[in-house]
Amino acid sequence: PMTLLKIFKYCKNTGIIPTFTFSRINLKKEDLKDRYANYLLDMGLEFGARFIVYSDMLKDYIKEKDPNAQVIASIIKAQDKFQGENAKNWSIENETNYYNKLLKEYDMVVVRTEYVKDVLLYNPSLIDDISKIEVLINHRCMRNCPKAKEHYLLSESSNIHNTNFKCIYNELSDPAS
């Protein structure tokens, strides 16, 4: 914990905004009582960190603790809604409407890389407030990965069990790997 404190102090002194990723998909109400996660959350709040979350329940929990905390909607939310078995729900209009809805509920939104490349680069005015959009440059999965949600679940599990995870679809599609 002392090392973490040094990192936060360094960030504060240099103007860097630390960002936590709390993107657990299967979050339960009792998980909100996790002592270590709350320690990290409280330290993050103290030092003005941002929080990327999947769970609306966690967003509400963070905002209860600090209404001024910056909470960002995780990319996993849109992947869950528009990729894999839910790809049938996808249309430019549906995804755009979804992001604009999230912009009303979150401080920022991480959008799918595919949406950026296929839609946002050509029509940024579709988004109500483009300044609140965040883009991942080094996404872990290949374009439109059919198993993106499962990969996050495996990644979540590997974090819990301290093992490594890498998207096999990405490896199969990348001739350089």
Alpha carbons 144 and 133: distance in angstroms, whole number: 19
164 pLDDT tier (thresholds 50, 70, 90): low
Mean pLDDT of 55-63: 97
Q: pLDDT-derived band of residue 25, with 50, 70 and 90 as boundaries? A: confident
Is residue 173 over pLDDT 50?
A: no
Q: Do 151 and 85 form a contact (C-beta atoms < 8 A)?
A: no
- Give the max Cα distance, the chain: 48
> From the centroid of its chain, how far is CA 140?
12
Q: Rounded to the nearest 5°, which phi and psi values hold at 140?
A: -75, -25
Calpha distance 152→165 (Å, rounded): 9
- Output the pLDDT for position 35: 94
Q: Count CB atoms within 10 A of the CB of residue 136.
A: 14
Q: Is a pLDDT exceeding 50 seen at residue 176?
A: no
107: which strand partners?
none
Give the three-state DSSP class for 136: coil
* Region 29-57 average pLDDT: 95
Q: What is the tens place of the pLDDT at every residue in 93-141?
A: 999 999 999 999 999 999 988 899 889 999 999 999 999 999 987 666 6
Structure-model confidence comparison of residues 37 and 142, the more confident one = 37
- Asked if 73 contacts 102 with a C-beta cutoff of 8 angstroms, the reply is yes
With left for phi above 0 and alpha for psi between -120 and 50, is residue 84 left, alpha or beta?
A: left
pLDDT for 171 equals 47
Cβ neighbour number for residue 20 with a 10 Å cutoff? 17
Q: Which amino acid is at 54?
A: Y
Give the separation between CA 148 and CA 142, rounded to whole angstroms. Answer: 9
Regarding predicted confidence, which is higher, 98 or 85?
A: 98
Strand partners, 134: 110
Query: In whole angstroms, what is the distance from residue 116 CA to residue 105 CA?
Result: 20
